[in-house]
Each structure stands twice: as structure tokens, then as C-alpha cells.
A = this chain, B = another copy of it.
Amino acid sequence: MSQNLVFTNDVAPALDAILDAKPHNHLAVIVDENIARVVLPEIRSRHLAEAQIITIGVGDSCKNLDTLTHVWNSLEQGGATRKSLVVNLGGGVVTDLGGFAAATFKRGISFVNIPTTLLSAVDAAVGGKTGINFGGLKNEIGCFQEASDVIISTRFFATLPITELKSGYAEMLKHGMLSSHDEFIKLTGYDFQNADAEHLLQLLKTSVLVKERIVKEDPHEQGIRRALNLGHTVGHAFESKALHDGKPIAHGYAVAWGLVAEMVLSHQILKFPTEDLHRLADFVYANYGAYHITCDHYDELLHLMHHDKKSEHGEINCTLLAACGDVRPGHTITDDQMRIALDLYRDLLHI
């Protein structure tokens, strides 16, 4: 892996420099309808001005085989060859699907990712996960293939709904907790009301580099990369329950709430510091509110955790922290431990 990460809010010159240095005979840009209308015209890149534009529908429901076939056909009709390049400009749907299309077109052509949402910047654009939903399952078909270059910018986030920004921020919070106490303090001191693009870019840079380090150690998710699952065991259960109840919640919100519950477990099992647990809970409550559950929901949540796709042998498995930066993957959690953690989660988030 030798992925080139560029952190800048001056996107057009960065992109042109990257494309100048890559001989290619055809360039395609994959965007969704919103990005085509709102973002694409704002990027004054020489190369983009001459590129083939491939537009796909908006939202996760478009991340499917039909859209993939449309992109493959468009590349073919646009005259793409093995020496073509693809630029994926968009959120997670565009980077996941566009990356998979490029990774499989003529057995793989190079692609550049320019994530336009915080979630895709921090999560989807690094690590080489590409793919589509299939047969009703998320990311069922795909492969591991990294973009040659990723341009990471916060300039596109100004137009994002605040809930989407916060959703992405929860993954940054996770990376900060995996990284160090200093990062955790910085991140929990962030003020969404007075957001500044350059300040956020610095926080984002640290966050992405944490993820990159973990992914490099374990590209195919066999070991330490499971640390990135922090907050997700409980978070996924909340997300699934909400979906079943017909009241879906944003992934990042579920992760933020999941982090609180899993830091309770970390506190109980590994003595994760009380002070940090409270600091986390206060930040999450102030910015994300709470996911409301009662003890009547515990059985359902436990069932979901036992049947999570990352569960082995039906056990509930969590990455825990002895402290921020002191990561302990692979803890098996008993039902009783989880019930107590959910009790304390409710206390901490004033439910």
C-alpha cells in the first residue's frame, strides 16, 4: 500500500497536480446528482473540465448492481482503457461504488477519491473497502482496493446537515480514543456551533492518520483492525433495533451512543478512568442526545449483539480500552455484564 493522502481545502490545484503526474488517456469523474449540481461546478480543475462525468442516483438505495452496471457501461462507452483514471467525488456511496467499479473495470484501473462528507472522509475513503449492497445485505459484494490518492478537505462540509456532520464526527471521536488521551481531550472540546474548516481539517488529519496506521498493520481485517470496531458492537445493535422499529438512526449517532456503553464496559473490566467516561458521556449527551431504551429492550439488544455479523460463535465481542490509546481488542462480554453496562449507559445519558 502506498496511498497518497493530501489534506487541503484548496482542492482543484491538488487534484490537477495529482492528475498531471499520472499519464492517462481518459478521465472519468463519478458523482451523484447532488454533487453534480452543487459541488462539481465549484471545483475549478483543468482536468475535471475535460473529464467524462458519470452521474449516479443519490443515497444508499442506489449503491446496487444496477448502478454499478451503469458505471461499467458508461466507462466502456466513454472509451475507458486500462490507462484511464477514475475520480470518485462524493460521499460513501460514490467512493464505495465508484471504487469497486474502477477496481474491476478491465481488472482494475487507478482511482482517486475526493470524499465530500465527513463520514466518507474519515471512514470510507481510507482502508480500501469498496463495494455495493446486494441481496438485501450491505456491502455484500466488493473488494479491498485502495485509491491511489485521496484528497481530504473540509470545504464541502459547510453545506452538510449538522446531523450528518455529527454522524461523521463520531468516527473521529472513536479514532481519537484509540489514539491518545490528548486527542480525546481535543475532540471532546470541539464546538459544533462555531465550526471552522481549517481547525476541523487538522482534527480530521489526525483522525485519518490513526485509521491509516491501523489499516496498514492489518489490511484484511484479521487482527488489530478489529480495534476500529470500537463502539460498534452496541452501536450496531442500537442501529438494527431502530431500523426494525421503523425509526432509523444515523450510523454515527449509534456509534457515539455505543462508545458510551462500551466505555462503561471498559471501566468495569479494565478500569477505564471515571473522569474520561463522564467527559465522553457529557459530550455525547450535549451533541447527540441519547438513544432511549428501557430494560424491557435488553433482551432484544442482546439477541442482536449475539447475531452481529462480526460475532464469532455467537459470543458478544467488544474492543475495550484500559485508557485512551490503550486498546484491548477481542473481549468476550457476558449477558450480565452487558445488562449492567446498558443500565449505566442510561444513567449517564439521563434516560
Known interface pairs A140-B76, A141-B72. Does A107 touch B131 (Cβ–Cβ under 8 Å)? yes
Q: Indicate whether A129 reaches chain B with its CB closer than 8 angstroms.
A: yes
Is the CB–CB distance between B76 and A137 below 8 Å? yes
Chain B proximity mask over A99-135: 1 for CB below 8 Å, otherwise 0:
0100111111000000000000000000001110011
Please name all residues of chain B whose beta carbon is closer than 8 Å to the beta carbon of A137 when the two chains form the complex: 76
Is the CB–CB distance between B139 and A76 below 8 Å? no
Q: Which residue of B lies closest to A142 (CB)?
A: B107
Q: Indicate whether A332 reaches chain B with its CB closer than 8 angstroms.
A: no
Q: Indicate whether A190 reaches chain B with its CB closer than 8 angstroms.
A: no
Q: Indicate whether A143 reaches chain B with its CB closer than 8 angstroms.
A: yes
Among residues 133 to 171 in chain A, which have CB atoms less than 8 Å away from a CB atom of chain B? Answer: 134-135, 137, 139-145
Is the CB–CB distance between B73 and A135 below 8 Å? yes
Is the CB–CB distance between A144 and B105 below 8 Å? no
Is the CB–CB distance between B143 and A104 below 8 Å? yes
Among residues 317 to 351 in chain A, which have CB atoms less than 8 Å away from a CB atom of chain B? Answer: none
Please name all residues of chain B whose beta carbon is closer than 8 Å to the beta carbon of A81 when the two chains form the complex: 309
| Assembled-state Cα–Cα distance A309/B105 (Å) | 14
Q: Indicate whether A203 reaches chain B with its CB closer than 8 angstroms.
A: no
| Assembled-state Cα–Cα distance A81/B108 (Å) | 25
Q: Indicate whether A69 reaches chain B with its CB closer than 8 angstroms.
A: yes
Q: Indicate whether A14 reaches chain B with its CB closer than 8 angstroms.
A: no
Is the CB–CB distance between A144 and B107 below 8 Å? yes
Is the CB–CB distance between B144 and A108 below 8 Å? yes
Q: Indicate whether A65 reaches chain B with its CB closer than 8 angstroms.
A: yes
| Assembled-state Cα–Cα distance A100/B105 (Å) | 12
| Assembled-state Cα–Cα distance A104/B132 (Å) | 10
Among residues 23 to 76 in chain A, which have CB atoms less than 8 Å away from a CB atom of chain B? Answer: 65, 69, 72-73, 76
Is the CB–CB distance between B141 and A104 below 8 Å? yes
Is the CB–CB distance between A107 and B129 below 8 Å? yes
Please name all residues of chain B whose beta carbon is closer than 8 Å to the beta carbon of A145 when the two chains form the complex: 143
| Assembled-state Cα–Cα distance A129/B131 (Å) | 19
Is the CB–CB distance between A135 and B104 below 8 Å? no
Is the CB–CB distance between B135 and A76 below 8 Å? yes
Please name all residues of chain B whose beta carbon is closer than 8 Å to the beta carbon of A72 when the two chains form the complex: 134-135, 140-141
Q: Which residue of B lies closest to A107 (CB)?
A: B142
Please name all residues of chain B whose beta carbon is closer than 8 Å to the beta carbon of A103 when the two chains form the complex: 143
Please name all residues of chain B whose beta carbon is closer than 8 Å to the beta carbon of A104 when the two chains form the complex: 100, 104, 131, 141-143
| Assembled-state Cα–Cα distance A141/B100 (Å) | 11
| Assembled-state Cα–Cα distance A103/B309 (Å) | 19
How many Å from the CB of A77 to the closest CB on chain B? 8
Q: Which residue of B lies closest to A81 (CB)?
A: B309
Interface residues of A (CB under 8 A from B): 65, 69, 72-73, 76, 81, 100, 103-108, 129-131, 134-135, 137, 139-145, 220, 309
Question: Given A81-B309, A107-B143, A108-B143, list of 16 further CB < 8 A pairs?
Answer: A65-B69, A72-B134, A72-B135, A76-B134, A76-B137, A103-B143, A104-B141, A104-B143, A106-B140, A106-B142, A107-B129, A107-B130, A107-B131, A107-B142, A108-B220, A143-B143
5 A–B contacts from the bound complex (CB under 8 Å): A65-B69, A72-B141, A76-B135, A104-B143, A107-B142
